[in-house]
Amino acid sequence: MSQPTPSAGAAGPMSTFMPLNIDAHPLEFTGSGGEYFRVWIVNVLLSIVTLGIYTPWARRRTAQYFYGHTLVAGSPLEFTAQQRKMVMGFVLLMLITIAYQLAVNTGQDTAVGLFLLSGALLAPYIWASAMRFRLGATRWRGLRLQFTASWKEVYVASWPVFALALVWFGVFFGMQMLSPELADALQGAGPDEGDNEAPRLPFTPAMGGLLALGLVLTVLCFIRLEYNYKSLLVLRAQVGAERGRWKPVYMDFVKVWLATVAVFILCVLGVAVAGGLLGGGSLALLASQGKRLGIAVFIVLLVFAVFGFILLLLIASAPARAFREARMFRLMWDNIGVSQIARFKCHLRTGAYVWLRIKNIVLTLLTLGLYRPFARVSEYRMKVESVTLHIKGGVDQVAGALVRQQQQGGLGDALADAAGLDLIG
């Protein structure tokens, strides 16, 4: 499959900097769980009191806390987003969501279809607008990041979205061709008069194969979309006149996803076996004590057992999600840079991150959610402090040259300030 951007851009543009000594600067995070807890609890309480209206203010305070305590080569990041744009983006999304729910609840099928079609067409625009906003709101030593991809590049990179729609159109019509009874049922053809039984719809191996093919292609489209967007984001990110450098290939993403699926299956099997052993013994005990406990208590305990088993299955996905997050984080930050002047290296250990996530989930459940800010800080710290920035030449010299480049592009900075809304959470 073709890349979303020209292959010549993979190595980044030629830099104007001359080769110099390379200095290593490990990233640091100076925040703490206790400090962030105070920010988090205020955000939660005000969001509850205002029925969610405080959300954009809460997100800005959170971003400012994490940015301000993240040191890159000894200098903190800054989050300078305009609150007005964050509020506008939040209000716009809320209005769209309300309108869609009204259309669904009032049975306006045409309006629902138009909403879904418009959402598919506007999804690339929303994503690119949010990336422009976020990078434009990020500062380091007076330098602003920019996302410079054109709308054509964004929509070319978004081809998996439209391929996904074609895949399921093909599956839908293929199922009708393989099963005329299904086509009749979809067209509203019911059973003959006097026949009270609903028609049986056969499910053939060919239909199962077509459905499986659709699911496989769906997963591949999602992986390709993630790869296209992340590569475009890095290659079209710019600081001063220097653009990002990108090394990963599509198969790197596929390997991460395949490994994640394997971890998920192993976790589910382990939890299912453990839950089956514990649940089977508990059900046998409940059955033997059913008369003594009473039917009402027995039903309540049975419901709790079922919900507990479902909760265990949800928890079983946590290690797989943490595994994928760690592997993807290392893949990204171990293979990107800024033109020819800087590169990143990452030594995040996947096993350690997975164990940290499991510990955080257990403590969060035991504290009824109050440990959540401490969990977030610990995970963020582990990821940030696993990254080292390697810069050619002194930091002051490089930053000064980039500032001069940025000043020469003042018109572009002004246009970047005017573009983009915070449209994605």
Per-residue pLDDT tens for 166-184? Answer: 888 888 888 777 766 655 5
Per-residue pLDDT reduced to its tens digit, 128-163 = 998 999 998 999 988 888 999 999 999 999 999 889
Over residues 389-416, the mean pLDDT reads 66
- Angstrom distance (rounded) from CA 358 to CA 363: 9
Does position 43 have pLDDT exceeding 60, yes or no? yes
Does position 209 have pLDDT exceeding 90, yes or no? no
Higher pLDDT, 192 or 222: 222
Instruction: State which amino acid sits at residue 295.
Output: I
User: What percentage of residues in the chain have a pLDDT greater than 90?
Assistant: 43
pLDDT given at position 411: 45
0.85 cut: is pTM over it?
no
| Angle at alpha carbon of residue 78, lines to 131 and 228, rounded to 5° | 20
pLDDT, averaged across the chain: 81
pLDDT given at position 112: 77
203 in helix, strand or coil?
coil
Q: Counting beta carbons within 10 angstroms of the beta carbon of residue 74, is it exposed (0 to 12), middle (13 to 18) or buried (19 or more)?
A: exposed
Does position 414 have pLDDT exceeding 50, yes or no? no
Return the number of other C-beta atoms located less than 10 Å from residue 217's C-beta: 18
pLDDT given at position 388: 95
Residue that is written with structure tokens 């440990």 in the block: 371
What is the spatial order of strands in the sheet that 143-147 belongs to?
22-26, 387-392, 342-346, 336-338, 242-246, 237-239, 143-147, 138-140, 75-79, 70-72, 28-29
Pure H helices in 137-196: 151-157, 159-178, 180-186
- Angstrom distance (rounded) from CA 13 to CA 402: 15
Return the number of other C-beta atoms located less than 10 Å from residue 2's C-beta: 8
Most confident of 93-97, 189-193, 325-329, 398-402: 325-329
Split at pLDDT 50, 70, 90, the class of 299 is low
Per-residue pLDDT reduced to its tens digit, 3-31 = 454 444 444 444 554 555 788 999 999 99
Name the strand (E) or helix (H) holding 342: strand 342-346
Over residues 283-298, the mean pLDDT reads 55
Return the number of other C-beta atoms located less than 10 Å from residue 14's C-beta: 8
Residue that is written with structure tokens 């395949």 in the block: 258
pLDDT given at position 208: 81
Does position 309 have pLDDT exceeding 70, yes or no? no
* Among the listed residues 45, 63, 68, 32, the one whose alpha carbon sits nearest the alpha carbon of residue 373: 32
* Among the listed residues 156, 306, 302, 316, the one whose alpha carbon sits nearest the alpha carbon of residue 236: 156
